[in-house]
Amino acid sequence: MTMECYERLGAFLDQLECTCGNCVQYTWVSRDIAIEDVISNGVMESNRTNHLQDCKEVAQVGIWGKQKGSPHNQWDFRLEKNHKLVKISIDHGDLIFSLKFTTQDGRGYLNESEKVGGWNGGRRVSEVTFDYDEEIIGISGTVGVSRGKYAGYTIISSLCFITNKKTHGPFGQARGTQFAVPWNKGSFAGFYGLAGYYIDGIGVYLRASI
């Protein structure tokens, strides 16, 4: 491939830039790597283009808690199309240690995410199980500072998950600065944030509701 073609391909890919967690964890983490990937594998319209379109329709809201961190501290949970969030597992004590998400696809199969956070464990694991007609429409919580052995970190000290039926929580200990974000039914598309020993920050993926 000539340098001119290489640069034209790079310019084309720049127009399709996507920085969501799925892409970052895939192959398009830099312009050069993206070019090499397309040279080797093609554009893969049925997969990549659809994903990019989905990303354009989804907005990141937040983040609450710690604002910035190194790449290995970033976490990302995206709700795939035709999947429903059916359970959230929360490891907590006087703060939120880790989160895990379980979804169900259209055929009824369950899919469990990797645990995010929790380099240390809490004293209790609580599970929020959603009814078939229950949908998350908001979160609230508090941002605090860790105590004890790993003191001084900005963390999520408590969390509530709000649905069209009830409020689940609070989990953790409500101390520090409060935050709350509601959204329309049908808008939820996932969570993202920062984590290490604990859940340091959390934000929400939202899509335009119909």
Q: Is the pLDDT of residue 46 over 90?
A: no
Q: Is the pLDDT of residue 72 over 90?
A: no
Q: What whole-number distance in Å separates Cα of residue 178 and Cα of residue 157?
A: 10
Q: What average pLDDT does this structure show over 138-145?
A: 96
Residue 113 DSSP class: P
φ and ψ at residue 152, rounded to 5 degrees: 95, 0
Instruction: Give the CATH number of domain 59-207.
Output: 2.100.10.30
What's the length of the chain?
Answer: 210
Residue 7: per-residue pLDDT? 54
Judge contact between 158 and 175, C-beta under 8 A.
Answer: yes
Residue 120: per-residue pLDDT? 66
**What are the strands of the beta sheet with 188-195, ordered from one edge?**
58-65, 199-207, 188-195, 74-78
Beta bridge partners of 110: 104
Domain positions in the chain are 1-55, 59-207
User: 55: how many CB neighbours lie within 10 A of its CB?
Assistant: 19
Q: Which two tokens stand for residue 110?
A: 């369950």
Judge contact between 102 and 132, C-beta under 8 A.
Answer: no
Going along the chain, which residue ranges are E strands?
58-65, 74-78, 84-92, 96-104, 110-112, 116-117, 124-129, 136-145, 154-163, 167-172, 177-182, 188-195, 199-207
Whole-structure pTM value: 0.72
Q: Is the pLDDT of residue 40 over 70?
A: no
Per-residue pLDDT band for 95 (boundaries 50, 70, 90) equals very high
How large a percentage of the chain has pLDDT more than 70? 69
